[in-house]
Structure formats: structure tokens, C-alpha cells
Amino acid sequence: MTTRTFAVTLTIPDNEAFTAFETLGRLGIGVARVVRSDIWIFDVDDGAGQSLATTVASIETIHNPNKHRLSERASERPQPGEVWVATRDEAKATTVGGRAIPGVRSIRRRTAWRLLDDTGGDVAPALLERAVETFLCNPAFQVATTA
Amino acid sequence: MSARVAVVVFPGTNSEDETLRALRAVGLDAERVHWSQPETLARFDAFVLPGGFAYEDRIRAGAVAAHDAVMDPVVDAAQRGKFVLGICNGAQILAEAGLVPGTGPLRRPTAAFAPNASGRFQSVHVHVRLNVAPERVPILAGLDPGAVIPAWAAHGDGRLAAPPEELQRIERDGHLAFVYCDRDGKRVPAPNGAALDCAGLVNRAGNVLAIMPHPERDAWTYQHLDASRDRARMLAPSGGIRLFEHFALAVRGGALV
């Protein structure tokens, strides 16, 4: 079994990211920009993943080409500067929008957050950690993972 | 003079009208307060956060509203013993603000009303039972022990979730205000998969109550599928109004401290 990871990011204005930006500012966590992505992690049977990228791109529940950019990640871990937030007791899903994907054994979802400073670079890890602790993750039912 | 109650409306709130109607029906001077008017809240005796989808449930249900400027005076008032009732989305906001169960620092939630176990929005008629001694909930003054209140559960994020040690604390220390039950008061599994079959949480002082199902949507008999077609009977009070009657008793009695 192999694992394939995809990131889906809005190419149109992301209202949710903007709301996070506004709320973080109110909490005294000044950042220049917030970028949010949906992370989809698929555990697939060996040999069944060759057409997965094409299949994923065609499922509108995941990816609408009119407003999303789909990219495959090399790892099922966050990239440097990124935090992934997941539900702690996430149920094991095998379908997307009621549709099974051939060869896919399980599907996991994460929300990836990236906080950028005014140079376009990632904010300091301590600031990202503060944002996670105060707002981006509710530890009562979520878990945050950084690189 | 009637006690003044603020019904706090966020962008995305959708249950303020029926909540106002229930509060006014029990004699309270209830008024809608817009999220952009935090400075007006000082003149109110109590606060109700109604249901809806504040800020479209962005980030998490209740998370953005919990940090909204309009919540600052509500949190301050709760700390000073004034009564604060949150229904559905209002309950989610109170949990995200750390006011219920209130076992940790403010704005650092120790529990959550998380996505339903079904992964779907659920709308179902339910009954909830008072699970603590009445003296634990002065916000519902005079409510009978084990009182059963009918309501409509209508939410996608109503499942109480917390680490095991926090769930133990919630149950042991009397924060589990309401549990789901049948019409006879027998505890039943929560339709949303909530831990402890939780339908409502109360803080340590008993002046802040978060309840997930909507009692204001079972406040008149016409709100039942099997309602009478007789107009007078349709407009008769129903079981959900009892929660507001006891809330009114508490508010008229003044703040807790």
C-alpha cells in the first residue's frame, strides 16, 4: 500500500483565510497573509495509484478547476512553515461525496495553514505556534502538526 | 421594571427572531444587539447567544465569534456572575470562548461541540433532561430535578468532544447540565454521538449555560408535526418555553453574585 497526498488551494479570494487573518490580527498576531489549503491523503493499493491524480482532479467535491489549484505533495507531512490541523478522532473514510475511488483504502483530510510575513516568507515558528494555540486548533478535538 | 436581555447577533446568526419571541413571551425585555455594537451591552442584565452559523462556521463552529469584540463584554459579564445562555451555535461559541465547561483559561477551550459522528447536519426532535441538581444551574432558577424539556436538535457540530480526563471532570464536577433522553426522561444515546450523551454544559458557578438543541423551536404547539389545526391550541405554549420561564426567573432575581 502506498500513500499519496494532494493539496487543494483556492485560486479565487479565500474568505476563510481572510477571516483567520482578521481574527489573528485581533488577537495581536500580526501577519501579512494567511494561506489555507485542504490536504487529502489517500492510502491506495500498490499499483492502483497511477491514475489517482487524474481521478482526484475530476472529483468536484475535491477540486473544481474553475477555482482550485491541485498539487501533489511528496510527503504526508507538513512542509516547513506550515501547520496541519486534523480532527483527533477522525473516522476512517473510504469515499468522497459518496463515491468510492478504485484502489483507495482510506482517505484522511487535513487543513493546512501557512502564515506569511510582509516579505512573503513564513513567520517565525514561535508566532505560528501562538496562532495555533490561541485560534487555529482546538485541542479538545483537534491535533496540530508542524514540520 | 422588566429585566433587559441582549440577544447577540453575529453575521450568520439565524435564530434570533424565535429566541426573542420566546424571551418576550416570558416577560423579559429582550433586544437584538448587533455584533458591531459591543459598547451597548453594558446596560443589559443577561445575554443570550442564539443559534445559526456565526461567520459561516469558518475555521471551526463558534471559533471566530468567540474572539469577536462583542464577546468581550459578554465574557466580562459572565465573570461578574451575570447570566449567559447559549443555544446551538451560541453553545459552540461559549465552548470556544472557554466559558463552558469553564475548567481552563478564558478563550482556551477544554471541550468542543465538534462535527457530528455522522459527518452530517442532523435535524431531529429530541428531549433533554436536567442531569445535575437544580442548585447547580441558578441560570434556570427553580427548575425541577430531572426536568425534561423538548427541543429540536438541528446542527452539524453538536458532538461533545474532549480529552478523557476532561470528560471525567465534566461529569464528576457537575458540568453535564443536560443529557439526551426520551420523553419519559430515560437517558438515550446522543443522536450526534456526543460524549456523555451531552446536550448541555454549565460552568462552575452555574451562570453560563450552553445547550445544543433549540428549546425556542418547541415553544409553541404549532411547532410540532402533529400540531392541532385549531389556531388557539396551535399558539399554546409548548414544553420548550419552560426553559425560558426559568431563565426569566433567574434574570429577574439579578446576577449570581
Q: How many CA atoms does the CB half-sphere of A97 hold within 13 Å?
A: 7
Beta-bridged to residue A146, according to DSSP, are: A83
Is the CB of residue B58 less than 8 Å away from at least one CB of chain A?
A: yes
Q: CB-CB: which of A88, A138, A139 is closest to B63? A: A138
Q: Which domain holds residue B123?
A: 4-252
Q: Which helix (H) or strand (E) holds A17?
A: helix A15-26
Catalytic residues of B: 88, 214, 216
d(CA B191, CA A108): 24
How many angstroms separate the CA of residue A65 from the nearest CA in chain B? 22
In a domain, B18, yes or no: yes
- Chain A positions in Cβ-Cβ contact with residue B59 (cut-off 8 Å): 16, 19-20, 23, 135-136
pLDDT at B257: 52
Is the CB of residue B106 less than 8 Å away from at least one CB of chain A?
A: no
Percent of chain B with pLDDT over 70: 98
- Chain B positions in Cβ-Cβ contact with residue A141 (cut-off 8 Å): 112, 114, 161-162
A16 SS3 class: helix
d(CA B38, CA B26): 25
Express each pLDDT in A81-132 by its tens digit: 999 999 998 877 888 888 888 889 999 999 999 999 999 999 999 999 999 9
- If you measure CA to CA, which chain A residue comes closest to B106? A134
pLDDT: is B11 or B119 the higher one? B11
In a domain, B146, yes or no: yes
Express each pLDDT in B150-172 by its tens digit: 999 999 999 999 999 999 999 99
- Does residue A48 have a pLDDT over 80? no
What pTM does this model have?
Answer: 0.95
Q: Do B59 and A23 touch (CB under 8 A)?
A: yes
| Range name among A28-42, A82-96, B77-91 with the lowest pLDDT average | A82-96
Q: How many CA atoms does the CB half-sphere of B162 hold within 13 Å?
A: 30
pLDDT at A38: 97
pLDDT at B227: 67
Vertex A80: Cα angle to A138 and A13 (nearest 5): 65
pLDDT at B1: 58
In a domain, B257, yes or no: no
Q: What ipTM describes this predicted complex?
A: 0.93
For chain A, give the mean pLDDT. 94
- Does residue B230 have a pLDDT over 90? no
> What is the total count of domains within chain B?
1
> Residue B226 maps to which CATH number?
3.40.50.880
> What is the total count of domains within chain A?
1
pLDDT at B226: 72
pLDDT: is B234 or A114 the higher one? A114
For residue A101, give the amino acid letter: I
For chain B, give the mean pLDDT. 94
Q: Rg of the Cα trace of chain B?
A: 16
Contact A136, A83 (CB under 8 A): yes
List the one residue out of B56, B55, B31, B58 whose CA is nearest residue B45. B31
* φ, ψ of residue B25 in degrees (nearest 5): -65, -25
Query: What are the DSSP calls for B12-55, one per residue?
Result: TB--HHHHHHHHHHTT-EEEEEETT-GGGGGG-SEEEE--B-GG
Query: What are the DSSP calls for B139-195, one per residue?
Result: GGTTPPTT-EEEEEEEESS-EEE--HHHHHHHHHTT-EEEEEE-TTS-B---TT--G
| Range name among A42-51, A64-73, A77-86, B3-12 with the lowest pLDDT average | A42-51
Q: Which domain holds residue A92?
A: 2-146
Between helices B241-252 and B16-25, what is the axis angle to 10°?
60
